[in-house]
Structure 1
Amino acid sequence: MPYNAQFTPIPTLLPPPKSAQWKDGFLDWNIARFEADSRGMPAGEHVCSQTDNSIAHDQGYYLKISEDGITIKSRTESGARLAFQTLRQIALQSDERGMRMVEISDYPDLEVRGFMLDISRCKVPTMNELSRLLDKLALFKYNRLELYTEHTYAFSGHEIVWADASPMTKSKYARLQKLCDFAGIELVANMNGLGHMERWLRYPQYAHLAESKAPFIDPLGTVRKFPTTLYPDKSALDFMDGLYAQFLPNFSSDKINIGGDEPWELGMGRSKERCKNEGKYRVYIDHILGLRSLCAARGKKEIYFWADVLMQNAEYSKLLPEDMIPVLWGYYLDHPYEEQCSKMRELGRTFLVAPGTNTWNSFGLRWDCALGNIKTACDCAKKYGAKGMILTQWGDGGNHQPWCAMMPPIALAAAQAWSGDIPEDKVCTALDKLVFSDSTGEFSRSLCALGRVDPVQKLRCFHHKMFFASGKEAETAAKEYTPAKFDEMEAALDFAMSLAATSKMRCRDAEICLCEVALAAEMIKWAIARARGDFYVSTTQQQVSLKFIVSEFARVWLARAEFGGLTESLDRIKKISPEIFAV
């Protein structure tokens, strides 16, 4: 059948390839059939996969679909795997005539294109959900996965810490490692070893490891009921070495992220005198060097760490060996990636950038913030020679955001890291064709619209803050916006929901995606109603709505995640009006 551009649009590929020459005509499915072999490599009777050392980039590939079949050329297996994902994308958008003929030459701008999922803020996904996520990451050509871990691993002898968390286990990691190997994604260990240790330090048996006592107010203005930072001495290193002994054998990768971010109490308690005499940054550097030695002794050759403390005095990087790689993280629109990346190049450091999905502390996402943050991070990474990008998906405050809301940032970051700027409409088109299977092309647009309900793109959405605020805090927060702004927010929410309502998804999780968005809308409406004057949740209508939210939140949660952490996340909601949940 002759090609007719009017009725046969060019397949949408994400990330967009460097060069794609689409031809008239289709390769019949009798010839076009392909699959992944036992190693995840492209295979098929009419698939010719060749090693070609003339391809300059290790992850580069050449793909040709012609009347003779499918030809793949690559320098490495990585390139062949990436070509396979391009084939998958074309096949997913093909009809009964077969696959559109094309010649593609492609390679990524950034070597590392990673995704980090927070599994320590209440929500641990089921293995089935992790498998589905991994498939989408591979489809969009991500090549690294990290699961951010504080306490969510079943450490022997430390059951009290993870008993209610539905943690990852040795068998789960074994399965995940196999899935990652098949998908061509490197599974990298990620576990904090200085700050963010409150899941441990809240228990008396670990109190001797704490830098100081609690409560205290962190730099974000949050009252912390438990200590969060280890006292940096040999006991802390011995403790971490015991955890590494159990945790690190789960990973075949020779890389690890040792954390090191936000050690808020450092220098405020037991290390105060030492920090005064030696300098706070020197004490910090000595501790992460200690962690590095422990990990190196266990076979790790690249030691990544969050760079927020280092960037306060970047000259201290001269004390760090080359195998320690800073990860520059920042999620605001105005995060100084230009300045920080420039400094890393000046110092001759290998480094990564880490923008965010900007879904946490919201009931949807902060889409415009994500757009700008991801673009700036990736642009600066390329300009100053970063090794790559890792997109972070956090769960601060209880992980109340819809799971599906992270898909637009995931798609966007994939494109930005691989090939550069991409219009929002192409991100949405790719998602609707490749993830949601939405023939109307509306569901991904509904997620983006949901991410614009709050016109002020701060790191905590107004409606999220309003929802959880205490009575006095709610009165103060409500004054941030006028009644007219509340009207605008409700209109924006109605628009987002109208798009979701007209969508016709055929993906396996279509129903739960719609339920997640509907629940998010209910929570935003509840917050806006509260902002209009009912600060103390006194109306019967709001109480009924809150009970529904709690019930639906639990149902939606369990569709994708384990039970562990659900009670804690729900308790934050119930705390708003505990009397209506009293038995």
Structure 2
Amino acid sequence: MVCGSIESLHSCLVTFVQLLRVCWSPDESGDKIIVPPLIIRDQPSLTQRGFLLDVAPHARVPTLERLCQLVDSLLALKMNQLHLLMRVSSVASSLPYSPSEIVSLDRYCNDRAVTLVPAFDIEDSIPTAQLTAVCSTIKDTLTHFPSVRYVHLGPRITALLADSSFSFWGQLGLGPSTVLLLCANVFHDKSHQLATLPPRAILVEYGFQADYDFSRGIQLSVETGRTLTMCPGTAAWSSLSGWPEAGVSNVYNGVVSGVEGGAGGVVIAHWSSSAALTPLIFAWPPILVAAGLSWNHNTHWDYVHSSVGALIDTHLMRIPTCGMGSALVELGRCETWVTRMVRGQPATDMVDLPSTSQGSALYQLLADPDNLLLDNLTPEVFTSVMRHVRKVVREGGSSMLERTSSSVMNGGVTHGIGKEAAVSPWPLASLVTLELHLAMDMILTACRLGRALVTVGTNPRSNMGVAVVNPGVANLPPTIRTDLANKLTRTGRVLALREVYSSVWMQGQQAPGLQSSLLVLTSLLARLLPDHSLHPS
């Protein structure tokens, strides 16, 4: 192994370990690894490979232990940056960790050659008169980060600073060697404002839709000579199990067009909707694709699209053919399929994926079921989804779940393979299994509700008017509403969806964000049982 730095040596070792996994195969006498003679001359297509995590108060903010496990997972994929996105106001920022925790995290990242990047944006518009106070808040927050090399400002705050008549860049208190990352989209139609930016500033082209065209950011970079970083998204928000087709397509377009357009890096963003129902595990398929493509962007789209599940099994779960990767992807594909059915959208159409308004159809069935259009749906659509979801989870995660409670204590999750049981060394494997089954339960609940609404709202004379109208949850038969409500609340010895949701959340995420997402399930329960007094768990 010949390397130019310690970081390069680590990447070389990761490549070697990945090679061993690819060449591993079981035989009658046990595990067998045969590596063919070869020479690898390797270097990344993009030198900066980052992940941005939204840590807003309503988001799924990992505990410090889980965040360190996430850092290790990114490291195993040869990613070298972690961006923590905080919301700031004129008086405070949403930094969810204490100063001592940030110091510990920064040291943990530095020891692994991962750069911790503080990122900032604002929730709503702030008047120019408060810009000085906002900059002061950012400056104060940065004092908690011991070794700041980069500072990332999001779209809203970039636009606010760019439109101000006075230059506020100097008020951020950045050192001479600190690099500022700013939203390129703000300057698409006003490139003249780039003259006011610090010389070392890097432009970040944001684009989160499956069919987003990153060419305007590339053109801006070429015309102005500014370094460019691409920022596609995981698309794992406003849904119950993510939008894997949209996320993978968005990442592929962003990374490949970025490399070909001369970009220097990629930051894949994981945003949070106001009700963070989507488990974090569904961000991993796009993250894995971004990591692979940013190292080798010449990988063909057909291979990427067809191999995501197998790549997750091999390089995250580290149990080839265990089926967990396929389960993660298939749940999201089912959810996307139902959304396309609602819209009357062709199966290959990527327009408005992920949804920029209400979220997926199944998400709407939990969050606002009375306003979902049902014209294009039948009871058979929901029955088909329920059958398929149960099948893929049974094949990919059931045997793991059976052993999760006993294996969590020693940090592993077992997966049945014949009479033996393999243990996943991935630290996040236990949480992945629990969140996968939780997502399945939420999908099944949404499908049961959707099937009931369609059954009751079907027009017996479909040749006259619309085929299906949404009757509203309140107009469902009382027995159906009671049965659905029982799925959400504690019944007898069974922990139902709301209680399981809270329990799984607390195993991986901080408590403050729980109530805003749990409110969705509580509100649905109030619709089903309007005459009962309900209290959030």
Q: Give the TM interval when normalised to the shorter protein.
A: 0.7 to 0.9
Aligned equivalent of 1:136: 73
Query: As a proportion of its length, which structure holds more helix?
Result: 2
**Distance in structure 1 (CA, Å) of the matches to 2:278 and 2:165:** 32
Tell me: CA distance 1:571–1:298, structure 2 relative to 1, closer, same or farther (3 Å): farther
Deviation, structure 1 residue 125:
0.6
- Deviation by residue 1:354-376 (Cα, 9 ceiling, x = unmatched): 11111111111111111211111
Show the counterpart of 2:423: 506
User: Does residue 308 of structure 2 align to residue 360 of structure 1?
Assistant: no
CA distance 1:182–1:426, change in 2 (3 Å): farther
| SS of match in other structure, 2:237 | coil
1:402 deviates by: 1.9
Alignment partner of 1:478 is 2:374:
yes
Residue matched to 2:206: 329
Residue 441 of structure 2 is matched in structure 1 by 522
The equivalences for 1:147-546 within 5 A come to 147-150=84-87, 167-192=96-121, 195-196=122-123, 228-233=124-129, 235-261=130-156, 284-287=161-164, 290-299=167-176, 301-420=178-297, 421=299, 423-424=303-304, 425-453=306-334, 454-455=336-337, 456=340, 457-459=353-355, 460-469=359-368, 471=370, 473-474=371-372, 477-479=373-375, 481-500=377-396, 501=398, 504=415, 506-507=423-424, 508-534=427-453, 535-536=472-473, 539-546=481-488
Is 2:508 the counterpart of 1:560? yes
Asked whether the 8 Å contact 2:240–2:439 carries over to 1, the reply is yes
Query: Which residue number in structure 2 is paired with residue 85 of structure 1?
Result: 14
Instruction: Indicate if the aligned counterparts of 1:113 and 1:414 stay in contact, CA closer than 8 A.
Output: yes
* Higher deviation after alignment, 179-188 or 526-535: 526-535
Q: 2:169, 2:198 within 8 Å by CA — same for their partners in 1?
A: no
Superposed CA deviations along residues 105-136 of structure 1, whole A, max 9, x for unmatched, are 21001111110111113322111111111111
Question: Does structure 1 conserve the Cα–Cα contact (< 8 Å) formed by 2:383 and 2:447?
Answer: no
Q: What percentage of aligned pairs have identical amino acids?
A: 19
Residues 554 and 184 of structure 1, relative CA distance in 2, 3 Å threshold: same
- Contact 1:359 1:405 (8 Å CA) reproduced: yes
RMSD: 2.9
**Do 1:428 and 1:441's aligned partners in 2 also have CA atoms closer than 8 Å?**
no
Scaled by the length of structure 2, the TM-score of the pair is 0.76
Residue 126 of structure 1 pairs with residue 80 of structure 2: no
Q: Is the 8 A contact 1:115 1:144 kept in 2?
A: yes
Q: 1:556 and 1:444, CA in 2 relative to 1: closer, same or farther beyond 3 A?
A: same
* 1:293/1:481 CA distance change after superposition, 3 Å: farther
Distance 1:81 1:437, change over 3 A: closer
Instruction: Specify whether residues 519 and 151 from structure 1 end up closer, same or farther in structure 2 by C-alpha distance, changes over 3 A only.
Output: farther
Structure 2: where are the runs of 5+ without partners? 25-29, 341-352, 401-414, 416-421, 454-471, 490-495
SS in 2 for 1:408: helix
Aligned to 2:333, the other structure's residue is in SS state coil
Note the C-alpha offset of 1:521: 1.4
By how many angstroms is 1:334 displaced?
1.7
Shift in CA distance, 113/556, structure 1 to aligned 2, threshold 3 Å: same
2 CA distance for matches of 1:96 and 1:527?
A: 42
Secondary structure at the aligned position of 1:110 is classed as coil
> Equivalent residue for 2:467?
none
- Report deviation, 1:480: 5.2
Instruction: Report whether the alignment pairs 1:111 with 2:42.
Output: no
Structure 1, unaligned runs of 5 or more: 1-71, 197-227, 264-280
**Change in 2 beyond 3 A, CA 1:91/1:288:** farther
User: CA distance change for structure 1 residues 308 and 530 in 2, over 3 Å: closer, same or farther?
Assistant: farther
Q: How many positions carry a matched residue from both structures?
A: 449
**Residue in 2 aligned with 1:12?**
none
- After the TM superposition, which of the residue ranges 387-396 and 398-407 deviates more from structure 2? 398-407
SS at match of 2:117: strand
